[in-house]
Chains A and B, each alone.
Chain A
Amino acid sequence: MLKAIKGIPLYLLALFLFIVTGLPFLIMFLTSFKGQMEFMTSPWSFPESFSLDNYKLLAELQFFGYFANSLVVSVVSVIIVILIAAMASYPLARLKFRLNRPIFILFMVGMMIPIHTTLVPIFILTNKMGLYDSLFGLIGPYIAFALPISIVIFTQFMRDIPKELEESAKMDGCSHLRLFWSIIFPLLTPAVATVAIYNFIHIWNEFIFALVLTNSTQNATLPIGLREFYGEFSVNIPGIMAALTLGSLPLLLVYFIAQEKIVTGLAAGSVKG
């Protein structure tokens, strides 16, 4: 595409951006193997040895509890979002009724609503429902705020499915529920992948609801855990770097395994949204 601009300055620019994006990760990773003394004397040098002491320390300190909490909350929320967003999108995309457009717009508006505008009422509501400081208390808001983008993606996708498919099924006396479940839903696989990837990244990293709606270490998710480590370790910077590395690892691993899928999925979701 840029063939006309000759190579070298371009390469330097690419390399510069490569360093800017990559260096913080490299430093984080390398520092996580250092001892505290080593870090004090030469903070940015290559580690003398790849010692796993910091990681062992993390294992003793409940780190995998945070990890498990994040996994449970993310997986449960994403599965429920996929199911109920796909269901809601079915009539919105394929049936004609008077409130169709207003309901769709009402869902779509959710994408611009600041989470903070709902924070106090959700905090009070969660308390009243007895879900404060529990993983269940997080799942509700996570689902609610994942619905707008998910419904937009599903609706766009379902509109493109040819009508003939379900007309023949209707002739056979197929109910809407069966039609949705055995004909439409299986065709949604690419959209499901997009919705799952997009929401998983966001929920895995979500911070503000977790900060306000949970309190105990036992129910904290990874972002909250990382912040707690940061507070507790204060001087043990290599320990903090180990926590950051371990906390970032799952998404990075999944990314390196299924890079193309994640990148195109994310783009598809946002371009259409």
Chain B
Amino acid sequence: MSRLQEISLDTVHVRKKKKNKDTWVIIGFIAPAFIIYGVYVIYSIFMTFYYSTFDWTGIDANMVFVGLDNYIQLFQDDVFWTSIQNNFLLVIASLLTQLPVGLIMALLLFSPIKGMRLFRSVYFMPFLMSTVAIGILFIFIYEGNYGLLNAILEGIGLESLQTAWIGKESTAIWAVIATVCWQFAPFYMILFRATMVGIPEELYEAADIDGASGWQRFKSITLPLLKPIIITSAILSVIGSLKYFDLIYVMTGGGPNNSTELMATYMYKQTFTNFNMGYGSSISFSMFIIAFIVTVFILLGDRSTRGNG
């Protein structure tokens, strides 16, 4: 063996040793997070599917394997279809209310209005409140007899519109959607505002020289530069709406007569109220599949628009 070969073998050896050492470092650093995440999230998803193939109350040990029967039953379950429909209604309503309202709020924060600091502070407050607190608060706002909304309607002479907002099937879902918007619009306001702060002032100055109107400035400078954050917000809003639970559970519990039922509230009801853990698991696994498919579609759509633009 020549001396040269010996040296190169040596360096290979050293490199290998170093690589080995790095492997242990990598494992050591990632392991704590990976184990907790693996047990509570990854393992749980597989187990949810496993449980969904049983007829099982969750209390006694008696688990009867039923294959995909729970899913067959689910496809014939009207309440489940209602809940999917409501979830997608919530998705569309969230996109059409939260994002535009958030955008308007963010734009207002940049206009030369006196007291803007106070406005901004208050605009953001709903996002900090716990959903349970918001739910309880809005129960009293929508209340049929003395509720704030009805009191205001009376004050401005629209008594004819007064109703028990969350007690009636026709209005309940809209009342809840409005509340969800109230809670989340401030969050998107913050995201939009953070991006607007980064738009260089020179762009607007140049537009001013060209004599652009306010709307033109918005359309040809602000909006295009906001596009990436609007897409991010849309993804957050869609996924958030598909797994929504808290507010509905607190305000209506899915009622009246399942008119505000969502997949998550129905899953909770089946699992922890009716003790159909197997059936409930088939609902929650379906939620996962739906969220997964929608995410993939959004990401693919996002990629293709980026490719063209």
Question: Interface of A with B (CB < 8 Å)?
Answer: 1-5, 7, 10-11, 13-14, 17-18, 20-25, 27-28, 43-44, 84-85, 87-88, 90-92, 95, 97, 103, 106-107, 110-122, 124-125, 140-141, 143-145, 147-148, 151, 176-177, 180, 201, 204-205, 207-208, 212, 222-224, 226-227, 230, 237, 240-241, 244, 247-248, 251-252, 255-256, 259, 263-264, 266-268, 270-271, 273
* CA gap between A85 and B36 in the complex, in Å: 11
Whether, in the assembled complex, B136 has its beta carbon less than 8 Å from a beta carbon of chain A, the answer is yes
21 of the cross-chain contacts (CB-CB < 8 Å) are A1-B107, A18-B122, A87-B29, A103-B30, A112-B239, A114-B288, A116-B284, A119-B284, A120-B51, A120-B277, A121-B43, A121-B51, A144-B40, A176-B25, A180-B29, A204-B130, A226-B132, A255-B125, A266-B187, A267-B190, A270-B232
B37 and A205 contact, CB distance less than 8 A: no
* CA gap between A7 and B116 in the complex, in Å: 13
A118 and B141 contact, CB distance less than 8 A: no
CB-defined contacts of B194 to chain A, threshold 8 Å: 263-264, 267-268, 271
B33 and A114 contact, CB distance less than 8 A: no
CB-defined contacts of A85 to chain B, threshold 8 Å: 33
CB-defined contacts of A223 to chain B, threshold 8 Å: 130-133
| Other A-B pairs beyond A88-B32, A103-B30, 17, CB < 8 Å | A1-B217, A1-B218, A44-B146, A88-B34, A113-B291, A120-B277, A140-B40, A144-B36, A144-B40, A145-B41, A177-B25, A205-B131, A208-B246, A226-B132, A227-B136, A251-B128, A264-B194
B287 and A263 contact, CB distance less than 8 A: no
CB-defined contacts of A112 to chain B, threshold 8 Å: 239, 291-292, 295
CB-defined contacts of B33 to chain A, threshold 8 Å: 84-85, 87-88, 107, 147, 151
* CA gap between A268 and B195 in the complex, in Å: 10
Q: How many residues of B contact A (CB 8 A)?
A: 96
* CA gap between A121 and B232 in the complex, in Å: 30
Whether, in the assembled complex, B65 has its beta carbon less than 8 Å from a beta carbon of chain A, the answer is no
Q: What is the CB-to-nearest-CB distance from B209 to chain A, in angstroms, rounded to a whole number?
A: 14
Given contacts A1-B204, A43-B151, A84-B33, contact A21 B39 (CB under 8 A): no
Whether, in the assembled complex, B161 has its beta carbon less than 8 Å from a beta carbon of chain A, the answer is no
The stretch that binds A, out of B70-78, B90-98, B163-171, B266-274, is B266-274
* CA gap between A20 and B34 in the complex, in Å: 43
CB-defined contacts of B129 to chain A, threshold 8 Å: 205, 248, 251-252
In the complex, the 7 A-B pairs of residues with the closest C-beta atoms, listed nearest first: A4-B214, A267-B194, A144-B40, A118-B44, A114-B243, A205-B130, A121-B47
Question: Interface of B with A (CB < 8 Å)?
Answer: 22-23, 25-26, 29-30, 32-34, 36-37, 39-45, 47-48, 51, 58, 101, 104-105, 107-108, 110-113, 116, 119, 121-133, 136-138, 140-141, 146, 148, 151, 182, 186-187, 190-191, 193-196, 204, 213-215, 217-218, 222, 229, 232, 236, 239, 242-243, 245-246, 249-250, 263-264, 267-268, 271-272, 277, 280-281, 284-285, 287-288, 291-292, 295
